Amino acid sequence: MTMPPDENRERRVALVDLLDRVLAGGVVIAGDVTLAIADVDLVQVSLRTLVSSVRALPALDAVSAPSEQATDG
């Protein structure tokens, strides 16, 4: 069974288009790094970063604000 020609082609996305999508919606990058020797954790680093455009930040803040207010009081 062969696939139609449109499905066989690679889909290429320009870097500018990808960056535009990421900045329009925002993306959170999270990661943990642990340095251990002989099963002893020496250093642990936890990183969280938000990449977004300035225009998208108020919408993201409005979504996250109710959960933060509930934990403050």
Question: Is 41:34 a contact under the CB 8 Å cutoff?
Answer: yes
Q: Does residue 21 lie in a domain region?
A: yes
Q: Does residue 41 lie in a domain region?
A: yes
Question: Is 42:35 a contact under the CB 8 Å cutoff?
Answer: yes
Q: What is the mean pLDDT of each run of 10 residues along the chain (73 residues)?
A: 60 83 84 93 91 74 57 51
Residue 64, H or E segment: helix 57-72
Rounded to two decimals, the pTM is 0.43
Q: Does residue 5 lie in a domain region?
A: no
- Of the candidates 56, 60, 53, 50, the residue with the CA atom closest to the CA atom of residue 29: 50
pLDDT at 4: 61
Which domain does 41 fall in, by range?
A: 13-68
Instruction: Please give the Cα distance from 55 to 37 (Å, whole number).
Output: 45
pLDDT at 47: 92
Q: Does residue 30 lie in a domain region?
A: yes
- Of the candidates 21, 24, 11, the residue with the CA atom closest to the CA atom of residue 55: 24
